[in-house]
């Protein structure tokens, strides 16, 4: 290797060491409150605990929170107010956007929002709607608190392995840089897609494409079976052809044909997270225009 090559490698190594030291210092200093210890959230919070972050958890199911505490030595916050006062970063992983807004602004008389110090960051990783996210962001901004929307893709396996893909929307780039070491523990890709609410717009569109592909693939299996085709063989053909998609590779044989249905991602959640009204209206308009052009 040339002298320049050795020098470049040394610079890269030094940068890696500096990033490692920075992340370790942040892990020791940053206090994280995690709300929602469910199928996804529990695995994500466990990764943060293993990474050495000062972590406290909260869940509506107190028994679930206690089990997490026993397994990971992360305390359960006695209230949302205590969680807010003891956290620099609050992560929410809840079923819907309205539940996030209820927890942040209404439960315990709004204790969480009121207890967050100026300069703290809320990372909403729920699959919410862009409009509601922007409204919540504006409310928190008046208190000096930054909201980052960071919905994820990757499912339970990605959450467990710390290999989620995050679609981030924020109006505060400096706050995003401060929490990057936290996000790095949870996933392997962080896409900055725009301002507040943009992350959820991207997630809704991703789920729209993913859900459409899944439903088309399942319908194809049903129709194929009526013609005497073997469903498993159909999946093999699709995966070697242009019909290949996420569902044909990861879901049809493993969950549908086997009748396992173990992804813990229900059709109801898929429907809620892909039917954002502003987005669907634009999709509908685009589809109508495309069909009109094709008919001429």
The verdict on whether 203 is a catalytic residue reads yes
Which residue pairs, CB below 8 angstroms and at least 24 apart, start in 20-25?
Answer: 22/181, 23/181, 23/184, 24/52
Tokens at residue 283, please? 């999709």
Annotated active-site residue in 15, 64, 203, 225: 203
Distance (Å) of CA 42 to CA 45, 68, 119? 5, 7, 26
Which residue in 56, 86, 92 sits closest to 101, CA to CA? Answer: 92
Active site residues: 203
């Amino acid at each position: 290797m040339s002298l320049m090559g050795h020098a470049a490698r040394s610079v890269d190594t030094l940068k890696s060491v500096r990033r490692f030291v920075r992340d370790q210092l942040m892990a020791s200093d940053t206090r994280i409150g995690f709300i929602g210890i469910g199928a996804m959230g529990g695995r994500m919070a466990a990764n943060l605990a293993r990474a050495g972050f000062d972590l406290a958890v909260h869940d509506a199911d107190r028994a679930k929170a206690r089990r997490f505490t026993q397994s990971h030595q992360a305390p359960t916050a006695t209230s949302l107010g205590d969680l807010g006062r003891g956290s620099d970063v609050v992560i929410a992983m809840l079923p819907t956007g309205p539940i996030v807004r209820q927890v942040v602004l209404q439960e315990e008389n709004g204790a969480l929002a009121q207890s967050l110090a100026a300069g703290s960051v809320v990372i909403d990783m729920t699959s919410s709607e862009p409009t509601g996210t922007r409204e919540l962001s504006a409310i928190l901004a008046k208190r000096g608190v930054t909201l980052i929307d960071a919905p994820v893709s990757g499912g339970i396996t990605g959450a467990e392995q710390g290999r989620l893909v995050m679609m981030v929307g924020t109006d505060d780039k400096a706050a995003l840089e401060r929490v990057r070491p936290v996000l790095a523990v949870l996933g392997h890709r962080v896409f900055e897609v725009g301002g507040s609410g943009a992350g959820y717009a991207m997630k809704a569109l991703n789920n729209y494409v993913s859900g459409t592909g899944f439903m088309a693939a399942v319908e194809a299996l049903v129709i194929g079976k009526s013609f005497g085709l073997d469903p498993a063989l159909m999946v093999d053909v699709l995966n070697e052809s242009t019909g290949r998609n996420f569902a044909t590779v990861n879901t049809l044989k493993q969950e549908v044909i086997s009748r396992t249905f173990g992804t813990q991602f229900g059709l109801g959640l898929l429907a809620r997270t892909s039917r954002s009204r502003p987005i669907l209206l634009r999709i509908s308009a685009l589809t109508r225009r495309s069909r009109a052009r094709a008919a001429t």
